[in-house]
Amino acid sequence: MKRIPPLQSLAISILAQTFGFGVSILVANFSGISGLLLSIVHGASAGCVAGFLRLSPTWVVVNMAMWPAAWLYKHAALPNQALLWLVLVLLLIYVPTYWTRVPFYPSSRRMYEAILEFLPQDQPFKFIDLGCGYGALVCYLAKQRPLGIFVGAELAPLPALIAWLRSRSYGSRVQITWGNFWKLPLSDYQVVYAFLAPDPMPQIEEKCAHEMKSGSTLLINSFPLSRPAQQQIDVPDERNCVLYYYRM
């Protein structure tokens, strides 16, 4: 599975939206339709182009919904501040993508179950998720492995806040760290998990090799290291992900 970098996805989306404009103008000229129906034509055209150019499902949905959402906003008489708040929320979620080179892309529930099989059941351990999003994975694992301590590192402010709020019911067993995981030492963890992107994987490999202790476990979702994995698990989720196991 190859993930398209965020800036390239944005450029493709601009192309898709331009195509949508062209199609909607042609349809309007030949059929006379307008309003919400025309905006749906625009969105469907842009979404088809985004899918054809192999953008992720999230980007396809964004391209499909953008113009109909703009039409609905314009005609719903919403206060001007509503758009400002929407933009702010999106910035709090997605802006870190542009300097981490890691798009927001949560692990699947099937992947949770695959990860669980590598965690000890009868002894204490410490686990970290490098880029934990809303904290769903660490909370799920904490329920299943009561002897573990689970740490989630997240740079995006809003997901980190939501993850922290979710973690409150687990006490000290689930800890959320807001900040850049590149600055976190990994020597205290028996299990490290990462679902990132192709670009940062060489740096992840180097960091883990230098910081993780001998005998610890590194689990990588979809984007393997340069060296062969001791084991790889095909995960039957919607993206057909692969979980790679490395013993350090």
Burial group, residue 198, by CB count within 10 angstroms (0-12, 13-18, 19+): middle
Domain at 109-247: CATH code: 3.40.50.150
- The pair phi, psi for residue 234, each rounded to 5°, is -80, 120
For 170, half-sphere exposure in the C-beta direction (CA atoms, 13 angstrom radius) is 27
Of 114, 111, 104, 100, the closest CA to residue 134 belongs to 104
**Would you give per-residue pLDDT tens digits along the chain (248 residues)?**
455 666 677 788 889 889 988 898 888 888 878 888 888 898 899 989 988 988 877 778 888 988 887 777 677 766 666 656 666 656 555 555 555 555 667 889 999 999 999 999 999 999 999 999 899 999 999 999 999 999 999 988 888 888 999 999 999 999 999 988 999 999 999 999 999 888 889 999 999 999 999 999 999 999 999 999 999 999 998 778 999 999 99
By CB atoms closer than 10 A (0-12, 13-18, 19+), residue 223 is buried
- Give the distance from CA 113 to its chain's centroid: 18
Residues of the chain with CATH 3.40.50.150: 109-247
